[in-house]
Chain A
Amino acid sequence: MKYQAKNMFLGVAFFSVLLAGCASTDTDSSGQEGADTVSTYTESADANASAYDAQDMMNLETVFHFEFDQATLTAKARKALDAQIVRLKKTTGPVRLEGHADERGTREYNIALGERRANAVADYMAINGIPRYRIESVSYGEERPVAFGQSESTYSQNRRVELK
């Protein structure tokens, strides 16, 4: 638990990839491109809030991981989503959720599974006060992996929903 300091974001992101599946830290962050996400986000954010939110986004998880063949939110994903929901409530822009699966199983089944995951996140957001009309779910199935190879750690990184 020594990697919890927020200013060690990048270090956490890197280590959490290595530790995926064999250790649980409360600050698990994936190695997604924080900078890209920030610029995409601020385009649609309220002008007043953007500077604050951009800073905030740096420290918030934008990728939520799932268990094999499952579309239910883990406790960790729920906690990360709660923080995102607090932030999203200060804004009005559209929210795009991209669902993904690992490569095991057929492509068409996996694209349905990716949608189920994106919808699980969308439902959780809606229940917690983000209006449905702001949320769009798109599934890429197994077509857009972030990690390559055939190991459990690779697979666990690819089973995800990304908030864009």
Chain B
Amino acid sequence: MFKQIVTVLALVLAGNFAMADLTIEINKGKDDPVPIAIVPFGWQPGVAVAEDVASIIEMDLHRSGQFAPLSRGDMLGRPRNASEVYYRDWKSLGVDYVVVGSLTQDGPNALTANYELLDVNTQRVILTGTESVSVDKPRYLAHTVSDKIYEKLTNIRGAFRTQLLYVSAVREGGNRTRFRLLKSDIDGANESVLFDSREPIMAPTWAPDGKTIAYVSFETSRPAIYTQNLLTGVRKQLTSFRGLNSSPVFSPDGTQMAMVLSKDGSPDIYVMDLASGSLQQVTNHFAIDTEPAWMPDGKSLIFTSDRGGKPQIYKVQLGSGAVDRMTFIGDYNARARVLPDGLGLVLVHRNSGNFHIAVQDLKRNRVEILTTTNLDESPSVAPNASMLLYATQYDGKGVLAAVSIDGGVKYRLPSRFGDVREPAWSPFLQ
């Protein structure tokens, strides 16, 4: 196990909310990460790019935990294409793969990266690529190259071009707290404020197309579910029933939303058809039923209920209403999310009084605890199922953290301001 700390200085944009809130610290990596060198990209004379593209690729691959990038200071040369590479040099440095590339600007609107991925052991170019973006998106260009390299070397689709939603709470004077709903790139850069309130904001979640989000806001002094279009900024209040209006989650096809309402007494799971607004009551029990999540086929929901005395995860078939209990290990299992393949759950699991993130294999019903901190909550799985984000506490502050689905890689994204929580990893956006 190695311990390294990488600080990513988030891109500071012009504007009111350029807080650059999240910094990334890698505190545990894979035991045998693949050594790779990302050589600084060559630049066309006269082109000024606002970002160090190779450095962003390097941090992406490092953050995945599966790669150990070579420090630039140890590089013996700075080749810009395969013909300039001396394989012997890289072999002597113990590097398995080398990435070289160069940037060109074609007119005002196209920044292009030409890059090659080389296998040092076979001395062959194994990937050649060209990617173009608008000039103001050099980070996106870098994440695109990261995705291609990651996919080539791991056979897993890269998720470096995804984003996250989260909530920050900053205590101001007296009893006042400022709540913000934020969105950033998955590495913490390009942060923007989507909604700002003196009243709590909860449960942000993505529509499957990545263009709309939903969340709960208390801005009317009561909880209500809102949707917000990320392109137009248009907000719409979906519910304002008496009692709880909580836990919105879009169905896999985006046409329905599961939610928790207590308008008829105790909290129950409902499904709203988003086109018509009509509601279907899915559970009807005097216990607390909450935290719904969709199974990938959209035909059943899992949810948390204390109908057995303690919170456990249950599954309900939308067609028949049949309910089955899914968790049996431990006296507190809650806020489950389904892995994209439907074969496992990530959930909040209490063990010896501490709240951890755990993964439950649904075939063998084995539970593996992934985190060692306390008060861990709100797990959110990457669309490629490689990692999950969750909220925990560090130094008395709410922070976001990530862990790989096998527990081998961990990193923290502490906030410089206030408490942050409830991360929601976006779907694939491209």
- Asked, given contacts A103-B375, A115-B262, whether A109 binds B304 with beta carbons under 8 Å apart, the answer is yes
How many residues does chain B have at the interface if contact means C-beta atoms less than 8 Å apart? 36
| Minimum Cβ distance to chain B for residue A66 (Å) | 15
Q: Say yes or no: B203 contacts A108, CB within 8 Å.
A: yes
Which residues in A have their C-beta under 8 angstroms from that of B348? Answer: 105-106
Residue of B nearest to A116 (CB): B288
Interface segment, one of B148-156, B226-234, B242-250: B242-250
Q: Say yes or no: B304 contacts A108, CB within 8 Å.
A: yes
Partner of A144, one of B200, B222, B422: B200
Q: Mark B248-262, 1 if CB is under 8 A from A, else 0.
A: 000000000000101
Q: Lowest 4 CB-CB distances: which A-B pairs, in order?
A: A143-B200, A112-B288, A106-B335, A106-B334
Which residues in B have their C-beta under 8 angstroms from that of A149? Answer: 396
Binding site for B on A (CB under 8 A): 103-109, 111-113, 115-116, 136-141, 143-144, 146, 149-150
Which residues in B have their C-beta under 8 angstroms from that of A105? Answer: 311, 332, 334, 348, 355
Q: Could you tell me the distance between the alpha carbons of A161 and B244 in the complex, rounded to whole angstroms?
A: 16
Dominant secondary structure of chain A at its interface with chain B: mixed
Q: B38: CB under 8 A from chain A?
A: no
Q: Mark B337-361, 1 if CB is under 8 A from A, else 0.
A: 0000000000010000001000000
Q: Say yes or no: B288 contacts A138, CB within 8 Å.
A: no
Q: Say yes or no: A115 contacts B377, CB within 8 Å.
A: no
Q: Say yes or no: A138 contacts B246, CB within 8 Å.
A: no
Q: Mark B387-399, 1 if CB is under 8 A from A, else 0.
A: 0000001001000
Q: Could you tell me the distance between the alpha carbons of A149 and B218 in the complex, rounded to whole angstroms?
A: 24
Residue of B nearest to A33 (CB): B175
Q: List which B107-144 residues lie within 8 A (CB) of chain A.
A: none
Q: B291: CB under 8 A from chain A?
A: yes
Which residues in A have their C-beta under 8 angstroms from that of B64? Answer: none
Residue of B nearest to A144 (CB): B200
Q: Could you tell me the distance between the alpha carbons of A150 and B242 in the complex, rounded to whole angstroms?
A: 32
| Minimum Cβ distance to chain B for residue A141 (Å) | 8
Partner of A115, one of B175, B177, B203, B267: B267
- Asked, given contacts A104-B375, A115-B262, whether A109 binds B290 with beta carbons under 8 Å apart, the answer is yes
Residue of A nearest to B222 (CB): A138
Q: B378: CB under 8 A from chain A?
A: yes
